[in-house]
Structure 1
Amino acid sequence: MMEPEALLQQYFGHASFRTGQKKAIDAILQGRDVLAVMPTGAGKSVCYQISALLLPGITIVISPLISLMKDQVEALHQVGIPAAYVNSSISSEEFHMTMQLAQQGKYKILYVAPERLMTDSFLWLAERVQISMVAVDEAHCVSQWGQDFRQSYLDIPMFVQQLPRRPICTAFTATATVQVERDIAEILQLQNPEMIKTGFDRKNLFFGVRRPSNKTAELLELLKENSGKSGVVYCSTRKAVEEVCDAVCDAGYGATRYHAGLSDRERGQNQEDFLYDRKPIMVATNAFGMGIDKSNVSFVIHFNMPKDLESYYQEAGRAGRDGEPAQCILLYSGKDVRTNTFLIERSRETMDVEDDALREFLIEKSKERLKQMTFYATSTSCLRHRMLRYFGENSPESCGNCSCCQTNYKEEDATLEAKKILSCVYRAQKSGYHLSRTMAADVLIGSKKEVVLRMRLDQLSTYGIIDKMSHREVVQLMDELIQREDLALRQFKDYQELALTAGSVEIIRDQKQVTRRVPIVREKLAAPAGTTDPTMTAEDNTLFQKLREMRTQLAKNEGVPPYFIFADATLRDMCRKKPHTMGEMRQVSGVGVIKAQKYGKKFLGVIAGHLEGSMVGNS
């Protein structure tokens, strides 16, 4: 039997495993169940793919999305690993052919949608092949505490019970709180699983929050800063996707769109345009992205705030999958909170849950997650620390690679302003008003808005009592008070109103002081710390572009996405090492045996031609 490291080098071209991968593989080869929580880009799929090659029979991988299966199977074919998938996208004829070949032992890995597990045809196959392992990808979908609960995932333990012999069961996810971890292990009936947690911190990602007055202008500025790079822009609604995509295209950028309102055909075409780099920018709702393994995504911009940190971490994590520096920027406004609250309330109608009490419980959990997401978006302390703490992980209080850590702040006493805010809330309630954050700020700064005057809010004694803060600064201070539980938000009709707490009373009675962090100088985020590669010279970057051109041509000839040939990280390693022979090419990270045989000579030719041209130019 070959060693796992030898297979890793042969098929994937890497000399050593990433953190957690070898531990997972060793446990599987010892016959143990595994629960692995590893961040996006950490190489979860390698854990079960290498194991599958070393186990007898076949490995069943349960995956929630068609796009995920298709991409992974095509990538496995690229490196010479026999695999197939079974889902609703294949014809009846293709399905029967796949079943026949699987029964004949032609595949080592078979991807299947959870909805197919308990069908008679798939159970028929399961009785006739040796299933050594069942691997559950995106395992958080099994938990009702998670953000992507799927009813069909509850069929997985029933499927395993139907098998003639219980296989090794493994579960993999990038986003799981402690509660979700417990749910995964319990619901999937994992037996004394090896627990692998490699940490949620991805140091190559820069996290930033901006609060622009004009989001579209800010987005276009960010795209200008990232000119020539590939990225994703997430929006919360279909309407926003359409408007933002039009604005991006009108500005001259190659962009396409993705949301559930498009036809299957258009979604598929637009996704392909993005994957093949024909349109480097994807504007999408959260319907896009799970399982998309595009390695050269250099930025993810959230035009609207997601509904929870789990979603944000997962979506932002689609940047920098190749380990290269990447940006994750959130454009925040208070309207995002109202939009998400509305979407959460509306989800009652579409939720795949029959029990009324459970439905209300899930709605309340969603609101609590939204609250934590809002705290992140309005934070003046380290964003990475706040996110990691949410997932139960200890971390330094400053990372040096987020917008808060790169902003200089000064501490100011804001007790008087806080008292004015609390007084406004109290006076408004006594007068029968239910004020949102925005409306309360309008009152406090003495806004002349028509709605303020029409509602006679200018008659309140607290009207205009804050004269040295902008509307935005007042709202930010409210957000800080809410985070400290010195002020609260509670649902009133279709919006959230401000409410006093026990902490409010302490401030009013001078039993508690309030300080706020005020930015002095905000550094430009065009090139955050760590986004340039110091090992790449200007000459290397010229060679990199030539290698990309060769990759694009090969990808076009073969009809596959460019990153299927080689990831950007592999091309950069070629630039640094400048191999002259096939043996030296095999030492480049990401160049396995099959890919070296298929593409090695062509890329060696590009490198040799570039070096020869450089020598002539210097002579």
Structure 2
Amino acid sequence: MQIKKSLIDNLQTFFGFDNFKGDQEAIINSILEKNDTFVIMPTGGGKSICYQLPALMSEGTALVISPLIALMKNQVDQLRAFGGRDSIAHFLNSSLNKSETAKVKDDVLSGETKLLYVAPESLTKQDNIDFLKLLKISFVAIDEAHCISEWGHDFRPEYRKIRQVINNIGENISLIALTATATPKVQYDIQKNLQMTNANLFKSSFNRPNLFYDVRPKRDVIKEIVKYIKGNAGKSGIVYCLSRKKVEEVSNALAINGIKSLPYHAGLEPKVRADTQDKFLMEDVDVIVATIAFGMGIDKPDVRYVIHHDIPKSMEGYYQETGRAGRDGGEGFCIAFYSEKDIDKLAKFMKDKPVSEREIGTQILKEVIDYSESAVCRRKQILHYFGENFNEVGCNNMCDNCRAKKEYFSAEEPLKIVLNFIKENADKFDDNYIINVLMGLETAQIQSYKHHQTKYFGSGKEQGLNLWKSVLRQALLDNFIVKDVDNFGLLRLSKSGEKFLESPYALRFILNREMETAQTDDDDTSQQGTGALDTQLLQMLKDLRKKIAKQKNLPPFVIFQDPSLEEMCTHYPINMDELKHISGVGNGKAIKFGAAFIELIKKYVEENDIDRPIDFVVKTTANKSALKVSIIQNIDRHISLEDIAASKGISYEDILKEVESIVGSGTKLNLNYFIDEVIDEDRQDEVFDYFKTAEVDSIDDALAELGSDDYNREEIQLMRIKFMSELGN
């Protein structure tokens, strides 16, 4: 009882908590008793206290091996705040200069430092090993221990040298290894590599009941993200992207849509990254758009949503990143956008890797695909991946699949076929191979095993690919079969599978959802929304356009073109800033013609009690704006349109479209230097006069009126651009 009281007293004194969570107390006792200890605990479970508190209570200095500088800094800052003095915790890594390193070593040698954080790369340097030999090490904590395993989502070769280095530092030093994500395979790798197979194991449930999991097809992804974030204004969130380029692009798109966001990736200066973290923690920004480099060890309990712009490379990565939401037990929404094209990109990344690494990567990626495409409870799939059985009833509709309407099928017969095939073929094949046989695909591998000559070949073609994917997935989740991850993901029967074959019974499986066709993530986010068109308002706007056109003696299309009016009828812009970002309405056109349209729309919205869509428009992103700016600058310098097109790597037809878009949005361009070279003055006047009286701006109509023998499409298009620029802008 004395130890328990002492622990609670220390917990209260150092951290201000009155009670331990879960296994924390038992873990701390294990460490204080100098036992090797292995902790598998989900993000938000309180892993840090498991080694911080015993370090503060023990004689000597605890060595904490941690993979990221950002993680170290965050934890050291917190410990200093709790402990009341800076010397209580330090980190030793490449971010320190010589004088700072000397100060750290002085504090540690004086006995003032209870926790010393070291990067695995720093740990292996000889001068650091010599220094650590001088210390009384209370124990060694290895955080993010999954980095040891090639089967982990963040493999770090330096982690595999940790045991050797510890042996060099001293004898009988106890270890505590901690991770938030460890499959049974990764768990075994960690214990074997660290030589702690007899360690006390503490494994908490991976279930995070407060998190809502949602996988969506990847269409209009920027618009979807902006819509979601604007609907959760003021809440903290993280958007993960796979590449630095995409991080910058998405962050910029959020910023120009009025969302307080910053990018975070390894390509930024360390000071910028540190400042970005601080701004997020201090709530100066609401959203961080990041690669997976962000978030490890960031103790922000109130992150309300984690969005994956790109599907992650592994289930471990997905679990750890989603785990940064709702760490305080409050709401946490986890939205991932899935596209087969993204999977193709990830597969291409692995092509140049060594064969063994590629095989492991392919298996890990396949788990992500199966998870994304399956209609089974998301929570059940996540927990099964980490070796935990879960009844989907316990999900409480906290995932998109549990909330969705399901399509069931009788699974008794197809399951028997799959299990018999595995049994007859001595566990030699994975699920892809089995499906290919059943679907009748005569691959070289199938021919070599002569399965094209068996009763199974093509027997499942009628039922379709989706059904067989569903059968294999759920047979695995319901433990009829087991996947041998050490052996290329080959499938074997479990005891439950053998029993089922002995005495089959009726059962139903859920048919996978067909993911809708996804567009690429380079979709033009400035296109009009998909809301229903308000035809009553559209007619009112057309009447107003006609009235203004008569007053200014201009054709109606010069004021605003039909697509712009139609977009106004789905998004209802009620101020100048909103109007400027309707497609085809730039700053100049909004200022010149916009006031009357805003006034009409605002009055209409109020009188008809219109509920305006939150996402009303997603403003164009920087890469497209940059192209337009560059075109304008080149035109100002009188560069020919052909040369501009060549320099930008686009066709002449595309450059005309871009120029027309710029002019259509209200920017005035002087193209006389170019037009004068290709169209003589009299013909220019004739086309110009035609457009003055035309009802519509159609090139086909102009050619029919002016004669296609006298003019070509390019000439009419150029003159239409000139006409719109001079009279409309």
Fold-level similarity (TM above 0.5): yes
Give the TM-score normalised by structure 2. 0.56
Alignment of 1:264 onto 2:259: no
Q: What is the alpha-carbon distance in structure 1 between the residues aligned to residue 151 and residue 401 of structure 2? A: 30
Q: Offset of 1:31 from its aligned partner?
A: 1.5
Alignment of 1:143 onto 2:149: yes
- 2:326 maps to what in 1? 320
- 1:593 maps to what in 2? none
Alignment of 1:43 onto 2:41: no
Q: Give runs of aligned pairs for residues 521-536 of structure 1, distance below 5 A.
A: none
Q: What is the alpha-carbon distance in structure 1 between the residues aligned to residue 191 and residue 311 of structure 2? A: 31
Tell me the C-alpha RMSD between the 2 structures.
Answer: 3.1
Q: 1:428 to 1:176 in 2, by over 3 A?
A: closer
Q: Offset of 1:192 from its aligned partner?
A: 2.0
Q: 1:360 to 1:328 in 2, by over 3 A?
A: same
Alignment of 1:385 onto 2:384: no
- 2:32 maps to what in 1? 29
Q: 1:126 to 1:408 in 2, by over 3 A?
A: same
Q: 1:425 to 1:116 in 2, by over 3 A?
A: same
Q: Do the aligned partners of 1:24 and 1:47 also contact (CA within 8 Å) in 2?
A: yes
My pick for the range that moved more, 16-25 or 111-120, is: 111-120
Q: Do the aligned partners of 2:217 and 2:339 also contact (CA within 8 Å) in 1?
A: yes
Q: Give runs of aligned pairs for residues 47-196 of structure 1, distance below 5 A.
A: 47-80=50-83, 82-190=88-196, 192-196=198-202
Q: Offset of 1:283 from its aligned partner?
A: 0.8
Q: What is the alpha-carbon distance in structure 1 between the residues aligned to residue 237 and residue 508 of structure 2? A: 43
- 1:376 maps to what in 2? 371
- 2:14 maps to what in 1? 11
- 1:602 maps to what in 2? none
Q: Which runs of 5+ in 1 are unaligned?
A: 349-358, 416-420, 431-465, 467-473, 487-511, 520-619
Q: Deviations over 1:502-527 (max 9, x none)?
A: xxxxxxxxxx99973669xxxxxxxx
Q: 1:267 to 1:371 in 2, by over 3 A?
A: same
Q: Do the aligned partners of 1:306 and 1:340 also contact (CA within 8 Å) in 2?
A: no
My pick for the range that moved more, 192-201 or 210-219, is: 210-219
- 2:314 maps to what in 1? 308
Q: Which runs of 5+ in 2 are unaligned?
A: 414-434, 445-461, 477-506, 515-729
Aligned residue type for 2:369: T
Q: Offset of 1:206 from its aligned partner?
A: 1.1
Alignment of 1:408 onto 2:411: no
Q: 1:218 to 1:425 in 2, by over 3 A?
A: farther
Give the TM-score normalised by structure 1. 0.66
Aligned residue type for 1:177: T
Q: What is the alpha-carbon distance in structure 2 between the residues aligned to residue 132 and residue 316 of structure 1? A: 34
Secondary structure in structure 1 of the residue aligned to 2:39? strand
- 1:20 maps to what in 2? 23
Q: Offset of 1:319 from its aligned partner?
A: 0.9
Q: Do the aligned partners of 1:384 and 1:402 also contact (CA within 8 Å) in 2?
A: yes
Alignment of 1:361 onto 2:356: yes
Q: Offset of 1:272 from its aligned partner?
A: 3.0
Q: Offset of 1:126 from its aligned partner?
A: 1.9
Q: Do the aligned partners of 2:376 and 2:510 also contact (CA within 8 Å) in 1?
A: no
Q: Offset of 1:429 from its aligned partner?
A: 8.6
- 1:206 maps to what in 2? 212
Q: Offset of 1:100 from its aligned partner?
A: 1.2
Q: Offset of 1:239 from its aligned partner?
A: 2.5
Q: Offset of 1:479 from its aligned partner?
A: 5.8
Secondary structure in structure 2 of the residue aligned to 1:79? helix
Secondary structure in structure 1 of the residue aligned to 2:62? strand
Q: Deviations over 1:121-149 (max 9, x none)?
A: 32232222211101100011111221211
- 2:341 maps to what in 1? 335
Aligned residue type for 1:225: G
Q: Offset of 1:120 from its aligned partner?
A: 3.2
Aligned residue type for 1:319: A
My pick for the range that moved more, 277-286 or 204-213, is: 204-213
Secondary structure in structure 1 of the residue aligned to 2:350? helix
Q: Do the aligned partners of 2:406 and 2:510 also contact (CA within 8 Å) in 1?
A: no
Aligned length: 438
Q: 1:191 to 1:410 in 2, by over 3 A?
A: closer
Equivalent of 2:281 in 250, 253, 275: 275
Q: Which has the higher contact order (CA 8 A, sep 6+)?
A: 1
Q: Deviations over 1:209-266 (max 9, x none)?
A: 1225321222122112321100100112222222211221122101111223333343
Q: 1:252 to 1:425 in 2, by over 3 A?
A: farther
Equivalent of 1:253 in 222, 246, 259: 259
Q: 1:424 to 1:249 in 2, by over 3 A?
A: farther
Q: What is the alpha-carbon distance in structure 1 between the residues aligned to residue 63 and residue 402 of structure 2? A: 44
Q: Offset of 1:485 from its aligned partner?
A: 10
Aligned residue type for 1:368: Q
- 2:225 maps to what in 1? 219
- 2:719 maps to what in 1? none
Q: Do the aligned partners of 2:314 and 2:365 also contact (CA within 8 Å) in 1?
A: yes
- 2:714 maps to what in 1? none
- 2:610 maps to what in 1? none
Q: Do the aligned partners of 1:378 and 1:476 also contact (CA within 8 Å) in 2?
A: no
Q: 1:518 to 1:38 in 2, by over 3 A?
A: closer
Q: What is the alpha-carbon distance in structure 1 between the residues aligned to residue 168 and residue 21 of structure 2? A: 35
| Structure that is richer in helix per residue | 2
Q: Do the aligned partners of 2:408 and 2:509 also contact (CA within 8 Å) in 1?
A: no
Aligned residue type for 2:34: G
Q: 1:428 to 1:188 in 2, by over 3 A?
A: closer
Q: Do the aligned partners of 1:413 and 1:515 also contact (CA within 8 Å) in 2?
A: no
Q: Do the aligned partners of 2:60 and 2:111 also contact (CA within 8 Å) in 1?
A: yes
Q: Do the aligned partners of 2:469 and 2:512 also contact (CA within 8 Å) in 1?
A: no
- 2:238 maps to what in 1? 232
- 1:396 maps to what in 2? 391
Q: Do the aligned partners of 1:382 and 1:404 also contact (CA within 8 Å) in 2?
A: yes
Q: 1:54 to 1:514 in 2, by over 3 A?
A: closer
Q: What is the alpha-carbon distance in structure 1 between the residues aligned to residue 133 and residue 510 of structure 2? A: 66
Q: Offset of 1:58 from its aligned partner?
A: 0.9
Q: Offset of 1:199 from its aligned partner?
A: 1.4
- 1:526 maps to what in 2? none
Q: Give runs of aligned pairs for residues 206-605 of structure 1, distance below 5 A.
A: 206-346=212-352, 348=353, 359-398=354-393, 399-400=395-396, 401-411=398-408, 480=470, 483=473, 516=511
Q: What is the alpha-carbon distance in structure 2 between the residues aligned to residue 98 and residue 177 of structure 1? A: 37
Q: Offset of 1:112 from its aligned partner?
A: 0.8
Aligned residue type for 2:381: R
Q: Do the aligned partners of 2:163 and 2:195 also contact (CA within 8 Å) in 1?
A: yes
Q: Deviations over 1:79-112 (max 9, x none)?
A: 1161111001111111111111101101111111
Q: Do the aligned partners of 1:212 and 1:218 also contact (CA within 8 Å) in 2?
A: no
- 1:506 maps to what in 2? none
Q: What is the alpha-carbon distance in structure 2 between the residues aligned to residue 297 and residue 374 of structure 1? A: 26
Q: 1:59 to 1:514 in 2, by over 3 A?
A: closer
Secondary structure in structure 2 of the residue aligned to 1:35? strand
Q: 1:218 to 1:133 in 2, by over 3 A?
A: same
Q: Do the aligned partners of 1:117 and 1:155 also contact (CA within 8 Å) in 2?
A: no
